[in-house]
Amino acid sequence: MRMIFDPRQIAHAPALEMHNGGWTAHAEVPGRAANILAALGEASVPVDHGLAPITAVHDAGYVAFLEAAHDRWLAAGREGDAVGYIWPVARRRDVPLDRIDALLGRYSMDAGTPITGDTWDASYWAAQSALTALDAVLAGERTAFALCRPPGHHAGADYLGGYCYLNNAAIAAQAARDAGAERVAILDVDYHHGNGTQDIFWDRDDVFFASLHGDPRIDYPFYWGHADERGEGVGDGATLNLPLPHGTTIAPYLAALDQALTAIRDFAPDMLIVSFGADTYEADPISHFAIRTQDYVEIAGAIAKLALPSVIVMEGGYAVEALGVNVAEFLSGF
């Protein structure tokens, strides 16, 4: 299977994330991509599709902010990575914002997603990798894998968070629509709920979003991913959330996956985007499922039975030493 990756995705390396009241080493490290590359071998570099497919999903003000944020941080006399400290919860939104701290709050959902001097380039090329994987599938390949790093599914139209800046899966899904796919399904099998993807397609009936994830009553991102969230307006019913308890093993996982796959079959999409996170792995340091390496073949095999042209986009997975093997198992199941 073709793997798409750009070396410019490596340099992005936030030092710290806010966790349990203190700063801790950032979990989304460059070694993740290196481990996957070592396990899978040759990658093709992405084709540059420009900004248009990115701004087809993301707010133009947000994209301009993201591109300039680290320079503005340095211009404000700061060092290191840019991160916010104040968030506009229910305050007015009409005040023109100028201070970098105000912008960081406006366009962030957490303090776990710092912006470095390399973040824009890495995010841009991760999105281009997803778009290039889509090209391969549009050209007739059955599946293609975009080694997206940084990941994307927590990023909304106008916010970053959860180690994500640009929503690679959403950008690919929208580009598929714009290339003529009538209906697109996104299946999110990262450990965490894909809140950004859900938000982006929340009130639409042309993109179905299904997610299996750690129950947000006890897990990040808390405010999204509960079972009663089903979409809104014409999008009512085009979102499916399947929260699962800590300790979930392969049998109940496959049962929930079967529900998601049935719903996707009923939606009858022309194309599938898989947001794949290997943080469901039993030894993942920040997650709480019990999926084993050999289980990824079965998970992928069940998804592949949809027999849809599929773009697989990398999301999370933080057990770095096992990451490449877990990804390879998943792709072999396809």
> Interface with Zn ion includes 110 (CB under 5 A)?
no
Give the residue closest to ligand SP5 by C-beta: 316
> Interface with Zn ion includes 192 (CB under 5 A)?
yes
Q: Which stretch binds ligand SP5 (CB under 6 A): 19-27, 74-82, 101-109, 239-247?
A: 19-27
Among the listed residues 316, 322, 325, 326, the single contact to Zn ion using CB under 5 A = 316
Nearer to ligand SP5, 106 or 149 (CB): 149
In order, the DSSP letters of 165-218 are SS-HHHHHHHHHHHTT-S-EEEEE-SSS--HHHHHHHTT-SSEEEEEEEE-TTT
Q: Which residues contact 94 (CB under 8 A, 6 or more apart)?
A: none
> Interface with Zn ion includes 277 (CB under 5 A)?
yes
State the binding partner of 196 from Zn ion, ligand SP5, none, CB within 5 to 8 A by kind.
none
Among the listed residues 17, 81, 188, 190, the single contact to Zn ion using CB under 5 A = 190
CA distance 295 to 277: 13
Contact, 45 vs 4, CB < 8 A? yes
| Least distance from Zn ion to the Cβ atom of residue 244, Å | 13
Contacts with ligand SP5, 115-154, as mask; x by CB under 6 A: ------------------------------------x--x
> Interface with ligand SP5 includes 295 (CB under 6 A)?
no
CA distance 322 to 318: 9
State the binding partner of 162 from Zn ion, ligand SP5, none, CB within 5 to 8 A by kind.
ligand SP5
Among the listed residues 315, 323, 326, 331, the single contact to ligand SP5 using CB under 6 A = 315
CA distance 44 to 71: 30
Q: Which residues contact 217 (CB under 8 A, 6 or more apart)?
A: 226, 243
Nearer to ligand SP5, 25 or 179 (CB): 25
Q: How distant, in Å, are the alpha carbons of 32, 34, 118, 135 from that of 121?
A: 17, 17, 6, 21
Nearest CA to 142 among 329, 333, 331, 308? 308
| Catalytic residue list | 154
Contacts with ligand SP5, 250-289, as mask; x by CB under 6 A: ---------------------------x-x------x---
Tell me the Ramachandran region of residue 115: left when phi exceeds 0, alpha when psi lies from -120 to 50, beta otherwise: beta
Nearer to Zn ion, 65 or 296 (CB): 296
Task: Name residue 145's beta-bridge partners.
Answer: 3, 312
Q: Which stretch binds Zn ion (CB under 5 A): 67-75, 171-179, 186-194, 318-326?
A: 186-194
Among the listed residues 4, 10, 27, 176, the single contact to ligand SP5 using CB under 6 A = 27
> Interface with ligand SP5 includes 162 (CB under 6 A)?
yes
> Interface with ligand SP5 includes 86 (CB under 6 A)?
no
CA distance 298 to 236: 31
> Interface with ligand SP5 includes 225 (CB under 6 A)?
no
Sort 328 into a burial class: Cβ within 10 Å, 0-12 / 13-18 / 19+: middle
Residues in the site for ligand SP5, rule: CB under 6 A?
A: 17, 19, 24-25, 27, 112, 151, 154, 162-164, 190, 192, 220, 277, 279, 286, 315-316
